[in-house]
Amino acid sequence: MRIALAGQPNCGKSTIFNNIAGYKAITSNFPGTTVKYMETRTHVFGFTCDCVDLPGTYSLTAGDPAELEARRHLLSGDVDVILNVVDASLLIRSLELTLQFLELEVPMVLCLNMMDEAQRKGIQIDVKKLSDLLGIPVVPTIAITGKGLQELFVEVLKVYEAKRKGKTLKFSKDIEAIISDLGSVLHSEWPVNEKVPSRFLAIKLLEKDEFFIKEVRGVIHLFKEIEKFQEQLEQIHGVPSDEVISSERHALAMNLFERASTVIHPPKKDFRIVIDHWVMHKFFGYLILAGVFYGFFNFIFGIGGYIEEPLMTLFNEWIGDLEELFGKESLALFLSKGVLQGIAGGIAIVLPYLVPFLIGLSILEDIGYLPRVAFLMDIFMHRIGLHGKSIIPFILGYGCSVPAVMATRILEFPQHRFIVSILTTMIPCAARITIIFALVAFLISPNAALAIFALNILVVAIFGKILSLLFPYPEASLGLILEIPAYQLPPVRNTLKKSWYRIREFIVIAWPILIIGSVLLALLEYGGGEKYINWFLSPLTHALGLPFPVGTTLIFGLLRKELSLIMLTQALGTTQVLTVMTKTQIIVFTVFITFYIPCLATIAALWKEIGKKGALLTILFTLSVAILLALATRVFFGIVR
């Protein structure tokens, strides 16, 4: 049995998915978190079922790539049951999509999620009545607590066994007449595709759906015929045919809502509105934004610094012990030192900062603060020539560049995706943030670290402006249209699970690479090979005024950014970095690391999203930016001191 979880953004699809799949999909209180669909195999009452978590779509009309992806999957014929998840507190809008799913003529179950939220708004829904009107089972749930999910899957199973399809809800008579006329024309003229019902196809063509129109355009006489139908509809109603259909569907949804639900009392006075009054305020909103990020910064640094110091001292003692044990210059010493330094790097340097960072980010995501940031920052994004929605990949970029690059799919124009993909790789990811914290904040001062973050934002803004002038995107590009979801207080367990999911990724993927890399460097040192790499990179390190042995760390940093940091201590032969590098050198090194070539995983993501040329261009671009900035930093401090 193949189930597809489908619905509008932020209605809780991923929460339900995680509930059955264990923690696999990232959830957050932000429309559009799932851009790529996740799949899991699970067992429901003895049935093997493949469950797909589709990206949220507001409608089934061709929109951004994430929406197209969802639609392609639903039309592929690989779906036995559509599990339509809706936010019960936003029923009118959600039902419009439900009506479109019904047009697909696939067995379906409606999950009325967030029932608690609907109740708070005073909306009472007659589940039985709604089920009768739509002809499909309707199950009320509160996914965040798991309530109703058992019943939900019982219904999914029943629908699957009975192959029970929903009712086709009819539009007004004159419109239905045109749909059926066009349907029969398509039936005889169009290469039959039984996966796409002809009524659905007819409606989409009347809606001027870009994707289907493009397919038909080749068959000229058919295209002419379709245009005739569109004109017919326009003449009767006096508005464009797509508007006729969408208004009609809207009216149908309103009608369903009125028949199946009652508003029993006006929404209770919601303290969340008072919060929003301040959080989205013209002036105080920005103060709060600055405060939140400053607090976040101190939270990470406070915890990380507190843990890093004693752990590093401990590991240093152990490394000293190793020297006594194996004797200087022995292979055993180099190997064991490499391993220990790799382990130490993970425990003492990366995790102390990474864990609080990821937990903090999860909390901000889950309560729903990020869309408010998008609202506040929209105007500034426009000033640098970017779309307001670009803020989403940027914020995700502080976690990891790979999901950030994939999140550019929420942008509509390829030029736009291209620019934002390149820029987002320059945002320091968790690994680079760790480096900034462990080197600059820890060794120099927290304010110096803040200055690096500020410089980073400034540089991204400047290059945003330059790139958007170089690669202009169509004027037709729409401004911001973003849903601002209500604040949520998800159970602490969910937030911790999500953080753990991301931390585990470091532990199982990155950490082994760190240890292997560390051993490799130790071997290179033993055999004297690192000298060649350092020699090869000496023009760069020389120009930047960095110590000669730093060269190798830059190469290893391409695998994982954390490697540069861990190897720095190894290459320099001491963990007391300040004894061999000046503060200026540390800052220059950090600036370079922050901007230069993205790590391999990110390059792979770029390759996939914006192509080989785009990925290569990003490498050249970030490398030149990093060299220029690092040089400028060196010159700046040379003059100041």
Partner 1 sequence: MTLDQVYENRKAKVIDIKGGIGIRQRLGQMGIHPGDEITMLRYGALRGPILIEVHGSQVALGRGIASRIMVEETE
Min CB(459)–partner 1 separation in Å: 23
Six-digit token pair at 259? 């028949």
Min CB(602)–partner 1 separation in Å: 29
| Closer residue to partner 1, CB minimum distance, 403 or 485 | 485
Min CB(397)–partner 1 separation in Å: 21
Distance CA 431, CA 462 (A): 24
Q: Provide the 10 A C-beta neighbour count for residue 406.
A: 18
| Closer residue to partner 1, CB minimum distance, 480 or 623 | 480
DSSP string, 500-548: HHHHHHIIIIIHHHHHHHHHHHHHHHHHTTHHHHHHHTHHHHHHHT--T
β-strand pairing of 47-53 with 2-7:
parallel
| Closer residue to partner 1, CB minimum distance, 202 or 486 | 486
| Closer residue to partner 1, CB minimum distance, 208 or 417 | 208
Min CB(145)–partner 1 separation in Å: 22
| Closer residue to partner 1, CB minimum distance, 391 or 430 | 391
Min CB(599)–partner 1 separation in Å: 33
Min CB(473)–partner 1 separation in Å: 14
- 333's enclosing H/E stretch is helix 331-344
| Closer residue to partner 1, CB minimum distance, 430 or 486 | 486
| Closer residue to partner 1, CB minimum distance, 284 or 306 | 284
| Closer residue to partner 1, CB minimum distance, 90 or 603 | 90
Q: Give the interface with partner 1 as residue ranges (CB under 8 A).
A: 58-59, 61, 63, 89-90, 92-93, 96, 121, 123, 208, 240, 242-243, 246-247, 250, 267, 280-283, 285-286, 371, 374-376, 378-379, 382, 388, 476, 478-486
Crossing angle for the helix pair 220-237 and 198-206, to the nearest 10 degrees? 70
Rg (CA), the chain: 28
Distance CA 121, CA 112 (A): 15
Min CB(412)–partner 1 separation in Å: 8
Min CB(58)–partner 1 separation in Å: 3
Q: What are phi and psi of 322, to 5 degrees?
A: -60, -40
Min CB(155)–partner 1 separation in Å: 26
Min CB(448)–partner 1 separation in Å: 30
Tokens 């066009």 map to which residue? 182
Min CB(610)–partner 1 separation in Å: 23
Are 206 and 246 in contact by the 8 Å Cβ rule? The answer is: no
Amino acid at 381: M
- 52's enclosing H/E stretch is strand 47-53
Q: Running DSSP on this structure, what letter comes out for residue 147? A: B
Min CB(113)–partner 1 separation in Å: 14
Q: Using CA atoms in the order 614, 619, 625, 626, what is the torsion angle rounded to 10 degrees?
A: 150
Distance CA 408, CA 413 (A): 10
DSSP string, 14-31: HHHHHHHHSS-S---SST
Min CB(469)–partner 1 separation in Å: 19
| Closer residue to partner 1, CB minimum distance, 473 or 592 | 473
Are 378 and 392 in contact by the 8 Å Cβ rule? The answer is: no
| Closer residue to partner 1, CB minimum distance, 31 or 403 | 31
β-strand pairing of 123-125 with 38-44:
unpaired
| Closer residue to partner 1, CB minimum distance, 52 or 374 | 374
Min CB(189)–partner 1 separation in Å: 24
| Closer residue to partner 1, CB minimum distance, 363 or 377 | 377
Are 243 and 233 in contact by the 8 Å Cβ rule? The answer is: no
Are 81 and 3 in contact by the 8 Å Cβ rule? The answer is: yes
Six-digit token pair at 295? 């607090």
| Closer residue to partner 1, CB minimum distance, 285 or 352 | 285
Q: Which residues pair with 138 in a beta bridge?
A: 110
Are 91 and 125 in contact by the 8 Å Cβ rule? The answer is: yes
- Measuring CA to CA, how many Å separate 398 from each of 110, 286, 301, 469, 535? 36, 19, 15, 25, 33
| Closer residue to partner 1, CB minimum distance, 11 or 626 | 11
Query: What's the start-to-end Cα distance of the chain, in Å?
Result: 70
Crossing angle for the helix pair 369-383 and 271-279, to the nearest 10 degrees? 30
- Measuring CA to CA, how many Å separate 349 from each of 216, 311, 431, 564? 59, 9, 10, 12
Max Cα separation, the chain? 93
Distance CA 111, CA 113 (A): 6
